[in-house]
Amino acid sequence: MGRFFICFLFFLTFVSKESLSQDYLNLNGKEYYKKGDYLYEFGILKLDVYKVFLYCDRKNCTKSDILNKNGSYALKFLYLRDIKKKYSKKGWEVGLKRNLKRNYRKYINEVNWLKNITKDMKKNDEVILHIDRNEFAYYKNDKVVAKITNAKLTNIISLPWLGDNAITKVCRKNLFGN
């Protein structure tokens, strides 16, 4: 028993609480499984902005399942510094324009809706973007900020991180767990 306890303490010393707690996401009583994660850094100084996690409603969900909205998935953001909403709004605009290109204008109502619900973020805030086919829910610190049924919105919401022109190729690759 003593040897087990020493091994357990050794294990806890080298495994962070975050890595253990981020493997699953419980949302509305349903368990989601982590596919991947990515640390977003900004600028020449590589300032840590947030860590983003991709969760799926099934252990064996595929990239195709997520991109085709075959099931339910969530992007969870853990903010590592304060971020003003004007920068997040700009991020939505840039990330969606990069992916939608000439089709951006077709989604302007959805982009404006996203920008309108965007809030200032404080260090340690958690935001979850939950997509369940054509339904979208935006959570901030475990509280529902907005909910909507909109197929056009759910088609574009994850593009800045999972689209062909994601914020970085490494982001997309890491989130899909490749």
pLDDT, position 2: 54
Sequence-distant (6+) residues with CB within 8 A of 81 are 47, 48, 49, 123
SS3 56: strand
Strand 47-56, strand 143-149: pairing: unpaired
* Residues 6+ away with beta carbon under 8 Å from 57: 30, 32, 33, 71, 72, 73
Delimit the domains of the chain by residue range: 24-175
Percent of the chain with pLDDT over 70: 88
pLDDT at 94 over 80: yes
* Confidence band, pLDDT 50/70/90 cuts, at residue 1: low
Element spanning 98, H or E: helix 85-100
Amino acid at 174: N
Q: What is the structure's pLDDT at 69? A: 85
The pLDDT assigned to 4 comes to 44
49-71: pLDDT as tens digits: 999 999 999 999 999 999 888 88
Q: What is the pLDDT of residues 2-49, one digit of tens each?
A: 554 444 434 433 344 444 457 989 998 899 999 999 999 998 999 999
Q: What's the CATH fold of domain 24-175?
A: Chalcone isomerase (3.50.70)
Residues 147-158 have pLDDT tens digits of 999 999 999 999
State how far the Cα of 146 lies from the Cα of 34, in Å rounded to an integer.
Answer: 23
Q: With CA atoms as reference, report the closest residue to 155 among 175, 135, 126.
A: 135
> Across residues 87-109, what is the average pLDDT?
97
CA distances to 11, 107, 124 from 86, rounded to whole Å, are 42, 20, 19
Query: Mind spelling out the 3-state secondary structure of 131-152?
Result: EECCEEEEEECCEEEEEEECHH
Extract the tokens encoding 122: 């404080």
pTM (2 d.p.): 0.86
For the chain, what is the mean pLDDT? 89
137 φ/ψ angles, rounded to the nearest 5 degrees: -135, 140
Q: How far is CA 29 from CA 57, 85, 143, in A?
A: 12, 30, 14
Q: What pLDDT sits at residue 12?
A: 39
